[in-house]
Structure 1
Amino acid sequence: MSSADIGLIGLAVMGSNLALNIAENGYTIAVHNRTASRIDDFVGMATEQGLNDKVVPEADLATFISKIKRPRSVIIMVKAGKPVDDMIEQLLPLLEEGDAILECGNSLYSDSQRRFEYLKEKGIGFLGIGVSGGEEGARHGPSIMVGGPEEQWKNAQPILEAISAKFDGEPCCAYLGEGGAGHFVKTIHNGIEYGDMQMIAEVYGIMRDGLHMAPGEAAEVFREWNKGPLNSYLIEITGHVLDAVEPKTGTPLVELILDKAGQKGTGIWSAIAAQQLGVPATAIEGAVAARSISSRKDERVAAEAVYGKPAGLGGAHVDLGDLEQALLAGKIVSYAQGFVVMAKASEEFGWNLPLATIAKIWRAGCIIRSRFLDQMSAAYAQGENTNLLMVPDFVEIMKTANGSLRKIVAVAATAELPMICLSASLAYFDSYRQALGTTNLTQGQRDFFGAHGFILTDREGEQHHDWPSTLEH
C-alpha cells in the first residue's frame, strides 16, 4: 500500500538531512539508496532522533516507487551530470503520468531545461530545485528555489514550504518559473556567494598582512561588523572561523589551513552565463579567477621568490571604519550584478523571474542571507528590474561607501596586497556611473580593422570612415 507522502533517492549528507527535515515536519518519506547499507545507516539516524515512524526504507527501486502516494514527488539527490540522467532513465518505466522528479542537486540550468522538455513529452514533471544552506540548512531549513511545471510544483509545495527556512513566518521557498529557472537562480546565488566570500577574504588580507592583526583580533572586528549594516551569515561565520584553534597545536586554525580554494562549478557557470547574456558581472568573475589563482600554490611560491614579498602598508593608515564601508560597497555591487544577470536571463528565456520574491527567499536559510535583502526585495516589489545601484536606498549607501572602497583599493594597490574582487567592484561602479565612456575609441578601432561601423552622435544610422592603409608597399 502507498504510504509515503514523498520519496527521496540518495542518502549522502545532503539527502539524509533533507529526509530527516521532511520527517520532522510530519511527512512520511520513502527513502532509497543504491548502496543498501546506507539505508540502514539512515534508519539508525532517524531512530536516534525519534523519526523512524515517518520513514519508509526500501532497497528495491520499484517497490520504493510503489510506496509513494500519487501523484508522486520523487526527490533525487545524486551527483550532478550523467548520474542524474541515468537515474531519470531508471525511474521512467516506474513512474506514471502526473508524477514528478524533483532534482535538488547543483545542476547546470541548461541541463535542467533539457530534462524538463524531455520529461514533459512523457507526461512526467521535472522540477529543478536549487537548495541553499549546506548541511545545516538541509536539516533545519534551507532556501528553496523551484523551477519546472507549475502543476507538479503545487503537488510538492506544502512539503517544500514546510521544510524551508522561515523569515518572520514566511517560507523561504518559491516557484520561480518553468524549465531551468530554479537552478539558474541557484547558480547566480552561488556566484554572488563567491564574490561575497572573496571580498571578505581580501579584507582579511588587509587585516593580516597590512595591519598585522592576529586571527582573534580580526574575529572580534567581524563580530562587531555583524551588529551593523554588514550583518549576514558569512560575516557571522567569518568570526567563528578566525576564532577557531587547532586542538593539537593550539595554533589558530586559519593559519594552518592551506590557501588553495576549491570550486564545484556553479561559480564558473554563473560567470559564463553572465558573459553569454552580455551582462557585466565583474565581482563574480574576479572571485572565480581568485580561486583559480589560489590553486596554483607552487607557482605563487616561486613568483614570490622572484618578485619579493608585498611591500606592506608602510606608514599608510587604514581605518577599520573604511574597511567596513569598503566591504559593504563591494557586496552591494556584487548583489547588483547578480540581480541584473537574473533580470536579463528572465527576459532572454521567458521566465518572468520574480526578483522581489528571490530577494525574500534569500533572507533566511541560504549562504548569502544578509540584512539588506529586505531593502532589495522592497525595491524590486515596485515592479521595475532596476540596477540596485539606482535604487534610492542603495544610492545613499554607495555615495558614502564608495569613497571608503576607493581608499582601501588604492592603499592595497600601493601595499601590493591583491584585491581582485573589491577592485573589480570599484571599476564596475566607476564605469557604470560614467556618462561619457571611452569605447568611442574602441568603436573607431573596430571600424579601422574590421569595418564594423559606428554611430555618430550628431546623425542617424551606422557610419564608416575611410581609413588610411597601414600595409607596407
Structure 2
Amino acid sequence: MSASASASIGVTGLGVMGRNLARNFARNGYPVAVHNRTPGRTRALMAEFGHEGTFVAAESAQEFVAALERPRRLMIMVQAGAATDAVIEEFAPLLEPGDMIIDGGNAHFADTRRREAALRGRGLHFVGAGVSGGEEGALNGPAVMPGGSAESYAVLGPMFERISAKVDGEPCAAHIGADGAGHFVKMVHNGIEYADMQLIAEAYDLLRQVGGYAPAEIAEVFRAWNAGRLGSYLIEITAEVLAHTDAATGRPFVDVVADAAGQKGTGRWTVQTALDLASPVTTIAQATFARAASGRTALRAAYADLPGGTTAPLSRTEAARFASQVEHALYASKVIAYDQGWTMIQDAAAEYGWTIDLAAVARIWRGGCIIRASFLDRIRAAYTADPELVGLLAEKEFAAEIADAQVPWRETVASAARRGIPAPAFSAALAHYDTLRAHRLPAALLQGQRDYFGAHTYQRVDRPGAHHTQWAQPGRPETTA
C-alpha cells in the first residue's frame, strides 16, 4: 500500500492505548498514520474503526514516515524500556531536523531525559508525554502531560489540548517543562494514585471491621462522600465495586477477590526517586509498601495467629459517629498525600532546572486522569494565588480543614491501632503532618549519634559552622572542638 504525506500525526504501537489514542486524534479531525510491528493490528484497526476518521495505514517504517506532514509528529505507544529505544532507533534515521518523536508510554523520566538529549543532538525534538486515564481516557479524553521543548509544544500543544478531557471548557493538557518533566509529573500522579487508593481501602477496612458495615452499606457511605468534598473518580468507582455482587456465588464481589494487590512499577519509581531527592513522600511510600506486603502470602500465613488489639464492637449509633471520623481522616490524609506529591514536583524542578506551573498541574488533573477530584480546583486556586506557595497547609482554607480534622483524624488512627487493624497510609499521613508542625524534632539526637560513631560533625542552634565533640573514651575526659 502506498502513502502520501497527508497525516497530521502518526501512532506506532497499536495496543489498546495506542489504538484508542489514534482513534481519538481521528475523531477530532486529524488525519492519522497508523503502524504496528505486526501489520495485522493495523489492518484490524482499519477494518473495525476506519469509518471514525481519516487513517493512513502503513506496513513499513518508510511508508509510515512518508505519510507524515512536516514537521513530522510520530507518537510511540510501545512498552517502556528497551522496546521504546528500539523503536526510536528504527525511526530516527528516517526523520529530518525539526521532526518530533513523542513517547506516550509510562517511561521512566530519566530515560526520557537521556533520549531527549540524544535526539536533540541529532536535530530532532523528543517529547515525553504522560497520558493518564487508561484506555477509556485515551479514546474519549485523557489528561496529557507533555515535556520537551517549547518549540515542540507550539506545534503539538493544540493537538493535545483538542483530544484531552475538558473541565469547564478548559483542556486537561499543558506543557509541563523541559526534557523529562512531563514523564516525571505523570510518575508523581501515579504515586499519588497509589496513596489515594490505599487510603480509600483503609477507610473501607475500618468501616467494615470497626463500624460493622456490610460492603453494600459502605458503598452508600462512599456515595454520600462522593457528593461532598471527597468527590472524585476513585471514590465514585469504589462505591460501584463495593455494591457489586459476584454472579457466581452471590457474595459481595470484594469478598471473592484475593487480598494481594499488584503494581506495574510507577509507584515504586516515585518512592525510589523521592529517596534520591530526599523528598519525604511517606504516605505514597507506605501505600506502595502496603501493596508489596499484601503479596507476601507465606509471611502473612506464618504470622496470622500472632496477637493483635481487641475492642468491643460498636453500636449502630457509635458506628455512624465513627464513619464521620473516618471521613475527616480520609480527607486530611488525602490532602497530605497530594501535598507530598506537589512538594516532590517542586524538589525535582529545583534539582533538574525545570520551570513547572504547579497550578497548571492541578488544572490538567481535574479531568481525564485517575486521580481527578473536586478539590483539585482549590489546589489550582491556591497555586494561582501564590505560585511560590511552600505547601498546601500554608494556604488558609486547607489549614483550617486540617485543624477541624485533628480529633477525628487522630481518633481514627488510634482506633486502628487499638484494634490491630493495619492503616499504614493513614498513620504515615498523620505522622508526616506531626513531623512538619513540630517545633523541635529528635533529629538533634541523630546528629549527636552520628558525630559519636563517625565524627560526622553537627550544627548548633547558638553559633554557625560545623562542630565536633571529642567523645569521652575510657580514662579520658570529653572535650568539644
TM-score (norm 2): 0.95
Q: Does 1:5 align with 2:8?
A: yes
Structure 2 counterpart of 1:142: 142
Q: Matched residues in 1 for 2:293 and 2:14: separation?
A: 34
Deviations along 1:153-203, one digit per CA (max 9) or x if unpaired, are 221122111100111111110111111000000000100110000000011
Q: 1:250 to 1:115 in 2, by over 3 A?
A: same
In the TM superposition, 1:90-101 aligns within 5 A as: 90-101=90-101
Identity %: 45
Q: Does 1:370 align with 2:369?
A: no
Kept in 2, the 8 Å contact 1:10–1:77? The answer is yes
Identify which range, 207-216 or 307-316, moves more after superposition: 307-316
Secondary structure in structure 1 of the residue aligned to 2:11: strand
Deviation at 1:469, TM superposition (A): 2.1
Structure 1 counterpart of 2:364: 361
Secondary structure in structure 1 of the residue aligned to 2:371: coil
Q: Matched residues in 2 for 1:93 and 1:398: separation?
A: 55
Structure 1 counterpart of 2:120: 120
Deviation at 1:297, TM superposition (A): 2.1
Deviation at 1:468, TM superposition (A): 1.3
Q: Matched residues in 1 for 2:406 and 2:291: separation?
A: 25
Structure 2 counterpart of 1:214: 214
RMSD between superposed Cα atoms in Å: 1.6
Q: Does 1:411 align with 2:415?
A: yes
Deviation at 1:459, TM superposition (A): 1.9
Structure 1 counterpart of 2:234: 234
Q: Please, which runs of 5 or more residues in structure 2 have no aligned partner?
A: 477-481
For 2:15, give the aligned amino acid.
A
Q: Does 1:421 align with 2:420?
A: no
How many residue pairs end up in the alignment? Answer: 468
Q: Matched residues in 2 for 1:11 and 1:253: separation?
A: 32
Structure 2 counterpart of 1:41: 44
Deviation at 1:208, TM superposition (A): 2.1
Structure 1 counterpart of 2:88: 88
For 2:220, give the aligned amino acid.
E
Deviation at 1:326, TM superposition (A): 0.4
Deviation at 1:302, TM superposition (A): 2.7
Q: Does 1:28 align with 2:28?
A: no
Structure 1 counterpart of 2:325: 322
Identify which range, 380-389 or 348-357, moves more after superposition: 380-389
Q: Does 1:384 align with 2:384?
A: no
Q: Please, which runs of 5 or more residues in structure 1 have no aligned partner?
A: none
Q: Matched residues in 2 for 1:309 and 1:426: separation?
A: 22
Secondary structure in structure 2 of the residue aligned to 1:68: coil
Identify which range, 114-123 or 458-467, moves more after superposition: 458-467
In the TM superposition, 1:241-252 aligns within 5 A as: 241-252=241-252
Kept in 1, the 8 Å contact 2:309–2:417? The answer is no
Kept in 2, the 8 Å contact 1:402–1:426? The answer is no
Deviation at 1:455, TM superposition (A): 1.9
For 1:57, give the aligned amino acid.
A
**Alignment equivalent of 1:466, drawn from 461, 465, 470:** 470
For 1:311, give the aligned amino acid.
T
Deviation at 1:385, TM superposition (A): 3.6
TM-score (norm 1): 0.96
Kept in 2, the 8 Å contact 1:375–1:393? The answer is no
Q: Matched residues in 2 for 1:285 and 1:249: separation?
A: 36
Q: Does 1:393 align with 2:397?
A: yes
Identify which range, 405-414 or 241-250, moves more after superposition: 241-250
Q: Matched residues in 1 for 2:155 and 2:474: separation?
A: 68
Identify which range, 289-298 or 335-344, moves more after superposition: 289-298
**Alignment equivalent of 2:22, drawn from 19, 22, 28:** 19
Secondary structure in structure 2 of the residue aligned to 1:102: strand
For 2:9, give the aligned amino acid.
I
For 2:425, give the aligned amino acid.
C
Deviation at 1:23, TM superposition (A): 0.8
